[in-house]
Amino acid sequence: MQQHILVTGGAGYIGAHTLVELINAGYRVTAIDTLERSEFRIIEGVERIISKKIDFHQIDCLDAVALNSVFERNTFSSVIHFAAYKSVNESVEKPLRYYKNNVGSLMTLLEVMKRNKIRDLIFSSSCTVYGQPDQIPVDESAPFKKAESPYGQTKQICEQILENVISEGFRIVSLRYFNPIGAHPSAEIGELPIGSPNNLVPYVTQTAAGVREKLVVFGNDYDTPDGSCIRDFIHVSDVAIAHVKALEFLINRTEASLFDAFNLGTGVGVSVLELVNKFIQVTGMKLPYIIGPRRPGDVEKVFANPQRINQAFGWRTKYTLEESLLHAWNWEKKIRNR
Ligand code: UD1
């Protein structure tokens, strides 16, 4: 029987790309989103890519009644929970909002899943749970260091909750994302930052498009070869495909309950300045930038050891950094010309 997957935050950046990959892999999907931080045109973009309508509901995961009614009207086999806030800066200004939304929505979802006897869940975690790891590449056994922000703390708390609730019969895979970038190769969907972007690649593409005057590289005095921070940038479609693999992994497991966490990265560290130069090279665009002070809360370098996810899921990244940057740029051009 065709498996039916509920995707929360389905209009979000990673959620929308995952809808495409789930449908391509033969799953039936229902997507929910508040559309508070995205727009319905992202769902329309998904529909154009897959030439099908998406079963979409504008629902908040904090609304137990509305959420429960979606569960009662469908027979889901699993849930992929993307719905959460992700701005580090905003979480410092509004920690209460972050705890309520990120932790509260997970609690509500778990209760509704339990009531409806749905036990398989894939959770969006982050490499931020490690803080600045002692060893790089970082593997899953690295301890959680003190979180650098309330956002990071919500991811640590959520993972701890998930590890605890398996005694109630849940089967959970937590995916610790490194730095997802890029957009669908069709340029029908991509990231829609609200206001001035916090993340590097949307800032880069907006600067190249002339929306921002110049990029500020936050620090060139780190203990790295060129002095800028090092991250593990991964194409968002590779991240999306890993969710399909995570579902297969869960389906094939026979345990009555389980919790497992995997790094979701490429395993390659790339510096901010390397990325900037690569963008200029692949797009041929001008990218004015200056070196500014360090950004508070930034870790110096982090990239994944992806060995466990590679082996357990039989998954490898498909896209290069060049393709990721080109796809991000194609998407930026598309939204500017709209
Ligand atoms: C962080 C978290 C990640 C989280 C994400 C959500 C870590 C290691 N990662 O990503 O888990 O999901 O926020 O937003 O904590 N940069 C500039 N100029 C800019 C913007 C960024 O130089 O205008 C630099 C940053 O200093 C950093 C790198 O680019 O070194 C990447 O920054 P960003 O895209 O914001 O992602 P992270 O902070 O790594």
**61 and 37 in contact (C-beta within 8 Å)?**
no
What is the Å distance from ligand 1's center to 14 Cα?
A: 16
**290 and 217 in contact (C-beta within 8 Å)?**
yes
What is the Å distance from ligand 1's center to 200 Cα?
A: 6
pLDDT above 80 (res 105): yes
Residue 99 confidence (pLDDT): 98
With respect to residue 52, please indicate whether it lies within any of the assigned structural domains. yes
183: DSSP letter: -
Farthest CA pair distance, the chain: 56
List the residue whose alpha carbon is closest to atom 13 of ligand 1: 88
CA distances from 274 to 207, 210, 224, 321, 327 (A): 17, 21, 12, 10, 17
Cis peptide before 137 (omega within 30 of 0): yes
Structurally, the chain folds into a number of domains equal to 1
List the residue whose alpha carbon is closest to atom 10 of ligand 1: 179
Strand ranges inside the chain, DSSP E: 4-8, 28-33, 55-58, 78-81, 120-126, 171-177, 179-181, 215-218, 230-231, 233-235, 258-264, 270-271, 289-292
List the residue whose alpha carbon is closest to atom 22 of ligand 1: 217
With respect to residue 285, please indicate whether it lies within any of the assigned structural domains. no
**Closest to 160 (Cα-Cα) out of 122, 133, 125:** 125
With respect to residue 138, please indicate whether it lies within any of the assigned structural domains. yes
pLDDT digits (tens, 9 = 90+) for 113-127: 999 999 999 999 999
Q: What is the token pair recorded at 292?
A: 């500014």
Taking the CA of residue 204 as reference, the ligand 1 atom at the shortest distance is: 23
pLDDT digits (tens, 9 = 90+) for 298-331: 999 999 999 999 999 999 999 999 999 999 999 9
With respect to residue 58, please indicate whether it lies within any of the assigned structural domains. yes
Catalytic residue positions? 151
pLDDT above 90 coverage of the chain, percent: 96
Residue 233, helix vs strand vs coil: strand
**178 and 1 in contact (C-beta within 8 Å)?**
no
What is the mean predicted confidence (pLDDT) over 230-257?
Answer: 97
The CATH number that applies at residue 61 is 3.40.50.720
With respect to residue 40, please indicate whether it lies within any of the assigned structural domains. yes
Question: In terms of residue numbers, what domain contains 92?
Answer: 4-184+234-265+305-317
Supply the mean pLDDT for the chain.
97
Give residue ranges with CB within 6 A of ligand 1: 86-88, 126-128, 179, 198-200, 203, 215-218, 229, 231, 272, 295, 298-299, 302
What is the Å distance from ligand 1's center to 300 Cα?
A: 10
With respect to residue 202, please indicate whether it lies within any of the assigned structural domains. no
What is the Å distance from ligand 1's center to 239 Cα?
A: 17
Other beta carbons within 10 angstroms of residue 176's beta carbon come to 23
Q: What is the token pair recorded at 109?
A: 């979802």
pLDDT digits (tens, 9 = 90+) for 259-289: 999 999 999 999 999 999 999 999 999 999 9
List the residue whose alpha carbon is closest to atom 2 of ligand 1: 128
Residue 1 confidence (pLDDT): 81
pLDDT digits (tens, 9 = 90+) for 173-231: 999 999 999 999 999 999 999 889 999 999 999 999 999 999 999 999 999 999 999 99
Residue 337 confidence (pLDDT): 80
Rounded to 5°, the CA angle 42-43-49 comes to 90
With respect to residue 107, please indicate whether it lies within any of the assigned structural domains. yes
Taking the CA of residue 275 as reference, the ligand 1 atom at the shortest distance is: 29
pTM given for the model? 0.98
With respect to residue 336, please indicate whether it lies within any of the assigned structural domains. no
